[in-house]
Structure 1
């Protein structure tokens, strides 16, 4: 059993970790422990002492040593006398703030309770604990749900608020909180900007609050909804590391607080900005799920837990067990300037290179020849294409190619038939000049009729052509937050529910459809979207050297198979850098792999190179997408960006490395290789022999050739039986 209950002490056990909590004599739910496997509840960690101005619950009578202001809690809330960051705030119609939540009951269930309208890790193999807390005065129930994914060392947390009393307003709700009574910790967050997302930032936690958040309506380019708290001495291969990852795609907050006694509190949930959610009598509010994981073997093991957990229990992949199609996208090859014949010729040239699918990007619909018109009018511009979409897709399928198409269903241009007919469909404040971004507004997906209108248009396109894939884009943040029908404090949250409803209905109607998420590249790269879209365009920046950093940061949380990653033309369209074709391919192979260039204008030699790259990727794809991932260097600081994929049985390894810095009089760079079997011997494809122990302690030499940004691919297989003798 992964869950045990001993009176009012509750323990959750994964393969390598234990999580414990206890409802005490006053009915408060206290956090006891999260860490390495344990059996006995460590109640001795609850140190009680008079703390001066830290208040005491009325039930404690004259006992000044008992204060929720200093004790570790499972679900800290306003009104308890805890003045640290809390996970739950509300007020009543009379203006009374706070509540008083006490333990009511606990129940173990097989599987898990569905979070209505929200993505979550699947219930397969999961066992769950639901603890009900109650405010008997407000007639309010709070249900804390914990699900255990034992084999991948992941525990999920979510919250349901059930109101049996008078209407309330939820002002703040965090789905997960962790309290640490001692320890020196660093926090790792992931910041960035458009075209440079998820750069890791590590700093020590002292006193005060460290917070990352988004109030943009999307998880954002600027901060990712993931945090890692690790011991100050933690490395890739040693030390304690805890993670929180939000299964949600809207505005969020994630924080770590160092309190007056050097205790730490880590929490994650919906952003409080623009959030004031009314909850009437007998209504239920569902807070999104947070994935928790812990590793005592450093950051690499933590990442592997998350990668395996998402691949096994979160991501819905219509190509489960098969390689997803390698695609070529039309955007950087022709932008808005194309017709059906140009797309067909792109597909024909791609077919000759063994690429599987062509994607027609922005510009095929409405009156869309630039980015200031047409969004909202999802009908095929046959005059521009010179043929129907059915005709084009049929011709491409006759080549033996798959076909994909671009949509941006959540946005609208003022210059569109839909806006002229339904200006109220857009989020904007009446009578006020609104904010434009990319010359577009955001549709009010908090309204079912708006979602239905766009859904019907999209389905009409998909029903009348042979379409295997869609790229779902969203190219702005949400501002001018006003809905003509939805109560204003609900709009941000209900918008995300509308998005998820659209995606869920689309998948149900077209179960074999592959959807790739995108939001100006990586602006909505989160576990919530991965539930619906098994790959997400990692960044609009396709430069191979910048991608090393973007992929490095993303790899701390997200599986490599989810990275939308393409080879593009040089000079690069975003930063003008020129990198070798081999380097661009090596970097792009660490993902879903594809191309973003005009293959029709390449030489025969270049096309032959692409054909060979496609063959190479297909040979290694299973290892790349399903192997254990190891970060071997830090491209933010090191001369080389290097990483490895190792099969779970350690029989095979693939190492990719790219030289970032070029210096004269350098002859070799040594990469220490992790993940290989101790004492084993390996051989590369050229017949050279290596001992795993030596590669781990001394490294693998990369011989430096002339030229910038050279890339290396080393494939190793373990020798069976006794170590063979060989000469390099």
Structure 2
């Protein structure tokens, strides 16, 4: 039973295998959050709320004689503006007279078996989707499994259930539906909010967050994932203090700079110990996550669409749906929290068609040729790539319009026949003749001024009237909130897909959005432009996915500028970063791993010296790092040495051998920030615990070195494991260092030894040396 309502205490218990979430309706109809953590049985945790009369914390009118019951200190399940709660809020509403107060109280609720779906936006899919057991919300609300009530005893019986609590402000005529999707078997709760105007007047939303939560009596850190182009999702951990922390993007995308994912954890939590809470927004546009520790020590977190520039008008009967937030809790540390997110994203967020499909090892021509290519050169690269064992060729930017550099052509999605006289079909057919699949690059949401599209429809670009626009990469952004723009893009892209055997699309987005103004919206609705832009992008992705379900989309935004669970609903993988250099990728991929599975991380072996930072690393080290992703190559294979070609052939064989272990195995970060000044190590363990793959890369080498030592995780203590594979970039060691090299193959260890005593590596020498070991059940 994943959702239970206790009639006597008026407490909702949302239960998963290892967590419980409690919501209390008090005697005044206030909806309070009382607990989120390990299971408690039938306990009502509202005893944790203490009524204390705190100075300058006022009272609702009906509570004027109970001064300890203040909106300024109560742990609300959804916080509002203007009614005595001075903390950060989730909802801001302006009525026709300009008043900003909202005071929400319980009205009704619904519990039903099955999962709530959202139209026009990403959502966490039901595990039953596509089966006879699957029900949409509409279907479920029409049968007996739907229980609507006024605090009667009810429960759900399925492993996936939904609770909808309807709140009401009778003065404003606003209903707010708090939606909770409970994935019992996966220890995940998903929240979203639907705001409906049931008054006869028009109101304006000034803020509409997906969720808020008040965690009582917590002394916590928060972890967020900042960055910049080519250095995305760098984890930063800070102590929560009595101020307001905000993580946001107002760039029109989730951004390279602040990922829409936040972790709250015990101040002493580690990878393997302590309470951790995760909050991941499924949205790809402007976002805002705020955290405040209030005067009583309660930690409040809100998450949702960014409120900068946001204003949304609701007429009578209209609703506004917020994006979903994926929530997870673990009392076993950060590695376990990451596992919960990896599983739900792989199995319930990414398109189901690609969940179990073996994805091909691809080669992309971008860093091999940039814009300097023609049909002959591309086919030569395909020939060389096929000889190495590559399984897909992806043609990147430069194949369309007048596109010979990044100053022209965007928006003109027709083939540049001067470069490709045989059109895309000739290139695709040649790849197929070599037993390689074929993929193609697009940047649908962008337009150059030097393009036929802009010359014919300059008003389709997002610009201020009468003002020169800000340029990014010498390109502008199309107004995706306009149906005619989305229709044009769908028609043009469809014609290209229909013209050849295209099985993969790389979908790029190469600038931030500013000058946000839509030519089709009136002045009082310009605050809707950014969200309408995102809805238009989702609509285009959804239409292409529906029409071409077997064409895989890889998301990209200058690499990782839209690396979020919203895009993953349409794209099972995203180009993790434009920085393909192995040593920088160690921190990029580690930061990404806190919330996102390896199967979503586009990672390639590129040339050395690297094009982004000039660093030189061995091809073995580059391969080991790229294997902790979807794996592929980003170089010109014609320029490789014969020894490097042999290594690549072996890398592809190795990756295919370990593919399902890497893509679906449980991932562990084995080293901490201090250790990672010296070396970085990570591990994949199969569900059966029969095998594990360990990778280690040295970031610094020393004479008379400290021995690299790790403790493995996730094995079976009683199982005996042997090493049946060892790949290392270390070929030679300095003379006279007195090292006796271990012969690792066929050595055996118990799981208990590897986890409790650990594994010691031989010292490694050279430039960024690396090693990869496979342990299998003896």
Instruction: Name the residue aligned to 1:705.
Output: 764
Following superposition, the deviation at residue 562 of structure 1 comes to 0.4
Question: Does 1:562 find its partner at 2:604?
Answer: no
Q: Is the 8 A contact 1:552 1:635 kept in 2?
A: no
What TM-score, normalized by structure 1, do the two folds share?
Answer: 0.97
Match of 1:461 among 488, 491, 496: 496
Counterpart mapping for 1:633-672 below 5 A: 633-634=671-672, 637-666=676-705, 668-672=707-711
CA distance in 2, matches of 1:274, 1:598: 45
Match of 1:626 in 2: 664
Match of 2:126 in 1: 123
Alpha-carbon RMSD across the aligned residues, in angstroms, is: 1.1
**Partner Cα distance (2:354, 2:746) in 1:** 35
**Which residue number corresponds to residue 408 of structure 1?**
443
- The CA deviation at 1:65 is 1.3
1:8-407 to 2 correspondences below 5 Å? 8-39=10-41, 40-124=43-127, 126-165=160-199, 166-407=201-442
| Equivalent in the alignment of 1:544 | 582
Q: Give the corresponding residue for 2:552.
A: 514
Is the CA contact 1:152–1:306 (under 8 Å) kept in the aligned structure 2? no
1:676 paired residue number: 715
TM-superposed deviation, 1:126: 2.0
Q: Deviations for 1:423-446, whole angstroms, at most 9, x for unmatched residues? A: 000000000111000000000001
> Which string of whole-angstrom CA distances, capped at 9 and with x for unpartnered residues, describes residues 109-162 of structure 1?
222332221101013352100000011122211000000111121100000011
Q: Secondary structure at the residue paired with 1:288? A: coil
Between the aligned partners of 1:308 and 1:200, the Cα distance in structure 2 is 21
Judge which range, 268-277 or 699-708, deviates more. Answer: 699-708
1:529-556 C-alpha deviation (Å, 9 max, x unpaired)? 0010000000000110000000100000
Deviation, 1:681, is 2.5
Q: What's the offset of the Cα at 1:454?
A: 1.3
Q: Which deviates more from structure 2 when the two are superposed, residues 661-670 or residues 515-524?
A: 661-670
Q: Is the 8 A contact 2:117 2:125 kept in 1?
A: no
Q: Distance in 2 between matches of 1:705 and 1:4?
A: 57
| Cα 1:414–1:718 shift into 2, 3 Å | same
> C-alpha distance in 2, partners of 1:191/1:638?
19
Structure 1 window deviating more from structure 2 (485-494 vs 539-548): it is 485-494
Structure 1: distance between partners of 2:555 and 2:79: 35
- Which 5+ residue runs of structure 1 have no aligned equivalent? 720-728
User: How far apart in 2 are the matches of 1:544 and 1:479?
Assistant: 33
Q: 5+ unaligned residues in a row in structure 2: which ranges?
A: 128-158, 725-744
Deviates more, 1:100-109 or 1:537-546: 100-109
Q: Deviations over 1:209-235 (max 9, x none)?
A: 111100001000000000000001101
Deviates more, 1:6-15 or 1:677-686: 677-686
Shift of 1:607: 1.4
Give the Å deviation of 1:367.
0.1
Distance in 1, matches of 2:172 and 2:211, equals 23
Map Cα deviations across residues 697-721 of structure 1 (whole Å, 9 max, x no partner).
Answer: 33211212331111111111133xx
1:49 to partner: Cα distance: 1.5
Contact 1:219 1:250 in 2 (8 A): yes
Q: Show the counterpart of 1:722.
A: none
Alignment match, 2:151: none
Q: Post-superposition shift, 1:679?
A: 3.9
Distance 2:22 2:502 in 1: 49
Structure 1 residues 51-109: Cα deviation after superposition (integer angstroms, max 9, x where no partner) = 12111001113111110111111001013211000110110121011212110011112
CA–CA separation in structure 2 for the residues paired with 1:282 and 1:667: 68
Give CA deviations for 1:310-368 in whole Å, capped at 9, x if unaligned: 11111115333221111000000000000112111111111111110111100000000
**Is 1:609 the equivalent of 2:647?**
yes
For 1:475 and 1:240, how far apart are their aligned partners in 2? 38
Alpha-carbon separation, structure 1, partners of 2:763 and 2:289? 43
Instruction: Write the distance in 2 (CA, Å) between the matches of 1:710 and 1:668.
Output: 14
How many residues align structurally? 719
Q: Is the 8 A contact 1:184 1:231 kept in 2?
A: yes
Moved more, 663-672 or 648-657: 663-672
Offset of 1:667 from its aligned partner? Answer: 6.3
Secondary structure, counterpart of 1:318 in structure 2: helix
